[in-house]
Amino acid sequence: MHEMTMLSSVTQIIAEEMEQHGLVRLSRVTLKSGTLAGLVPEAMRFAWEVLTDSGPLGGAELCVENVPVRLRCGDCFREFAPEEQVVFAVCPVCGQELGHKVLAGREVYIESIEGEDHCAAKGEAAA
Ligand SMILES: [Zn+2]
């Protein structure tokens, strides 16, 4: 499953980030997912639950935010957001359909992670 492979590397990156920032527990991660990347949000949530079943990532919330397609026309260089989420969309200015550059919509990246550091975790334990 495409989503499982992708999220597997995401959890690795998150684990490294958490270590760097001294986070002991993850509470929420926000992912940006371009429409053209073709990741299905339901499948991502399922993969996330399987991958974070235990450990410091366990129980963390996964938010997936969609990045709509943005193109730059190969002919007139006008940037536009196509109505249909495809690369071969008709340019609203000159009508060109081919040769557009994809400015956004293909990317998948971690927008933010939120968690607790050692101090917060200790404070909670004391209270
Ligand atoms: Zn154009």
Contacts made by residues 14-17, CB under 8 angstroms, sequence distance 24+? 14/57, 14/110, 14/113, 15/56, 15/57, 17/110, 17/113
pLDDT tens digits for 58-108?
Answer: 989 999 999 999 999 999 999 999 999 999 999 999 999 999 999 999 999
Q: Is the pTM of this model over 0.85?
A: no
pLDDT tens digits for 15-29?
Answer: 999 999 999 999 999
CA of 80 to the centre of ligand 1 (A): 9
CA of 97 to the centre of ligand 1 (A): 8
The domain defined by 2-68+105-126 carries CATH number 3.30.2320.50: yes
Map the chain to HEC letters: CHHHHHHHHHHHHHHHHHHHCCEEEEEEEEEEEEHHHCCCHHHHHHHHHHHCCCCCCCCCEEEEEEECCEEECCCCCCEECCCCCCCCCCCCCCCCCCCCEEEECCCEEEEEEEEEEHHHHHHHHHC
CA of 93 to the centre of ligand 1 (A): 5
CA of 66 to the centre of ligand 1 (A): 25
